[in-house]
């Protein structure tokens, strides 16, 4: 079992990383909005290209990695909760929580963020296409 101070440090580091994503996500949106594309093209660039990559690197890469002292299941669940609360209203949070658990489990089993990134991108493409 991990020592309590290791778990506390892991939680604090993971929360800090997730909080740092808030302004970084806004900056990413601003960069995509400045692209010489139509509004739909800018939205596509943000939601189907930039956001899935950034979110996988931050939440499944950094945050889930920092949470490993809590154990694999707790790391997946906490990162999923942090991922979910950044996705708007109740329906968005519920959907992102389920997606976060799925993507975190993929990360835990493969040891890589790339399979989850591919699934996350596909998910966002389908949501974008549905309107």
pLDDT in tens, 9-29: 999 999 999 999 999 999 999
Question: Over the chain, what is the mean pLDDT?
Answer: 94
Q: What percent of the chain has pLDDT over 90?
A: 92
Instruction: Please give the model's pTM, rounded to 2 decimal places.
Output: 0.91
Of 77, 44, 47, the closest CA to residue 60 belongs to 77
Domain-wise residue ranges, the chain: 4-130
The string of pLDDT tens digits covering residues 113-128 is 999 999 999 999 999 9
pLDDT of residue 117: 97
The string of pLDDT tens digits covering residues 78-91 is 999 999 999 988 99
The string of pLDDT tens digits covering residues 64-80 is 999 999 999 999 999 99
DSSP notation for 29-93: HHHHHTSSS-HHHHHHIIIIIIHHHHHIIIIIIIIHHHTGGG-HHHHHHHHHHHHHTTS-SHHHH
Residue in the structure block whose two tokens are 């809590």: 70
């Amino acid at each position: 079992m991990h020592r309590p101070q290791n778990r506390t440090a892991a939680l604090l580091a993971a929360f800090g990383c997730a909080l740092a994503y808030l302004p970084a996500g806004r900056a990413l949106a601003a960069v995509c909005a400045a692209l010489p594309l139509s509004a739909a093209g800018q939205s596509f660039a943000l939601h189907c290209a930039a956001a899935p990559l950034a979110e996988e690197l931050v939440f499944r890469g950094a945050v889930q990695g920092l949470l490993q002292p809590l154990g694999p299941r707790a790391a997946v669940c906490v990162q999923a909760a942090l991922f979910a609360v950044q996705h708007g209203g109740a329906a968005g949070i519920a959907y992102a929580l389920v997606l976060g658990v799925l993507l975190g489990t993929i990360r835990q089993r493969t040891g890589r963020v790339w399979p989850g990134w591919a699934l996350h991108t596909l998910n966002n493409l389908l949501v974008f296409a549905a309107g």
